[in-house]
Homo-oligomer: A and B are copies of this chain.
């Protein structure tokens, strides 16, 4: 009998996938849906970045170097230098999105059955890449009560086994928006040194920090061999569709192994490497306006959410996500109800139920993630919807 693989069965579907048919049905009824459920920025891709591709004049759309165009990797070293990260072009492997950097790091550093510890809630697709690599994700639970701060080091240590090979953090965090402090980063450094672990650092949202200072994993002294940076231009320049990321490390053995994975798939996409290279030359103040915009949006949703009875939303220090605890028994049912049975002035709102971001069953049942990727007016309108919805929703806890 033909059958699919166990991993094909184990592979988790997109956590918001279940809700998509309800959103489509709502739209068919003429209801406008405010999408706060996905991290697709509405911010325009910078014109010079798109123009670099549109004005390109090569004749053959050829394979690039498997590690990415040399000119792009050289340019990226300038970008990283400005972020206080000193690397050479040979310490950068350009990947097909941040996604591929995650998969390559898992594949090169962990074997099937090995364990990676990740603070939960976490970006749901880490699970997918873990299934592909046969790696076991071990969660350490962060809590909305203290704003999703790093769990205690004791909590990490309680989960470390001989199979533990790496700790993965996303900083600032998707889905919580939490920005790890210098003290937390230092504690992680000591932990990976003590147990000889890799520190995988997903810094997709590096540019978007509103409180305090972003400590890059590569700023930590004395753990150069341990750190593998997983990066992407997707959020940085609103260039999600380009599928350009990077794996950056000073660990030569890891680089050599990753390079073999990179060679097997030949090269990262050529068009978007041109875009990525041009993006490095954007003026220094490019991010100022974007950051200001995101910060205003964050302020809107945090204020509006916390003003709703029974809602708690910690103030996220970075990224463009916020997690909120709602006074509902089951956030997934509520999100479905929003799309299926509710409207306010012809509108409704689509949220991501937080359950999909937790590994431990049952956690996050009353939580949702909101991506503030709509303009301020729309965000206010979306909050009006949510406020009205929470008044009407029957299955509340208050």
Contacts and interface: CB of A to CB of B under 8 A. Distances in A.
Contact of A62 (B55, B107, B241, B267): B241
A254 B4 contact: yes
Interface in A122-137: 125, 128-129, 132, 134
Interface string A319-350: 00000000000000000000000000000000
Interface string A174-215: 000000000000000000000011100000000000000000
Interface string A236-270: 00111111000000010110011011011111111
Contacts of A54: 53-56
A263 B11 CA distance: 10
Nearest to A129: B264
B243 A96 contact: yes
A128 B260 contact: yes
Given A241-B267, A260-B8, A45 B61 contact: yes
Contacts of A132: 107, 261, 264
A99 interface: yes
Interface stretch (A83-91, A110-118, A362-370): A110-118
A309 interface: no
A59 interface: yes
B111 A5 contact: yes
Interface string A259-284: 01101111111111001000000000
Interface string A35-60: 00000111111000110011110111
A1 interface: yes
A17 interface: yes
Contacts of A59: 44-45
A265 B5 CA distance: 19
Contacts of A41: 60
Contact of A9 (B60, B134, B257): B257
Given A7-B112, A241-B267, 12 more contacts: A2-B251, A4-B254, A5-B108, A6-B111, A13-B260, A45-B60, A53-B53, A53-B271, A54-B56, A61-B239, A99-B264, A128-B260
